[in-house]
């Protein structure tokens, strides 16, 4: 579903330089794709972000939540998996939860976006959590994801990102 149809903020609606600086701290480079062109490395297709190695592919209509979600897969996966990364980030249940948690935290580092917008966009797009919303999950049910990120050295115990990859 295109970002505009779900009412979520797209890459074309945020400061691309700010997002590039944030992701660059993790060694990721953003590659822009022309409107309507297939997104290389996109697992879900359509406007969803794609990953190949240290390249994150986006179009103007790529949802910001998708950009950060795929970026967080890169951050959370092992160095061995990053070497052969092409389209399917893989990972287990704990890693997927860590990815979702980190994307919410990093949303506060995207100028003009933020955590509140991320949580709203995750709900609008159709992320599902057993408590019924991304916000409820993040505030009431994600202590395991946060602990995992701290254990992996990706979050400080106080909740701030370390800007390191696993």
Q: Report the C-alpha gap between 50 and 56 in whole angstroms.
A: 6
| Domain ranges for the chain | 3-151
Burial of 83 (0-12, 13-18, 19+ CB in 10 A): exposed
**Could you give the residue ranges of the DSSP H alpha helices within the chain?**
3-6, 16-24, 64-76, 79-83, 93-107, 115-125, 134-140, 143-151
Q: What average pLDDT does range 57-77 have in this prediction?
A: 97
Tokens of 105: 């935290």
Q: Would you say the pTM of this structure is higher than 0.75?
A: yes
User: pLDDT per residue over 72-119, tens digit each?
Assistant: 999 999 999 999 999 989 889 999 999 999 999 999 999 999 999 999
Beta carbons within 10 angstroms of residue 96's beta carbon = 17
Confidence of residue 5 (pLDDT cuts 50, 70, 90): low
23 pLDDT above the threshold of 90 = yes
């Amino acid at each position: 579903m295109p970002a505009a149809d779900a009412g979520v903020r797209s890459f074309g609606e945020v400061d691309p330089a700010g997002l590039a600086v944030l992701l660059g701290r993790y060694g990721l480079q953003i590659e822009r794709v022309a409107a309507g062109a297939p997104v290389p490395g996109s697992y879900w297709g359509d406007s969803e972000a794609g990953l190949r190695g240290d390249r994150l592919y986006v179009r103007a209509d790529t949802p910001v939540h998708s950009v950060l979600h795929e970026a967080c897969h890169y951050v959370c996966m092992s160095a061995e998996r990053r070497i052969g990364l092409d389209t399917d980030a893989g990972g287990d249940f704990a890693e997927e939860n860590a990815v979702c948690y980190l994307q919410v935290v990093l949303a506060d580092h995207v100028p003009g976006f933020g955590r509140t917008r991320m949580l709203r966009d995750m709900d609008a797009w159709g992320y599902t959590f057993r408590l019924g919303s991304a916000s409820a999950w993040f505030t009431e049910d994600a202590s395991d994801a946060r602990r995992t990120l701290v254990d992996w050295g990706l979050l400080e115990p106080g909740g701030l990102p370390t800007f390191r990859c696993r």
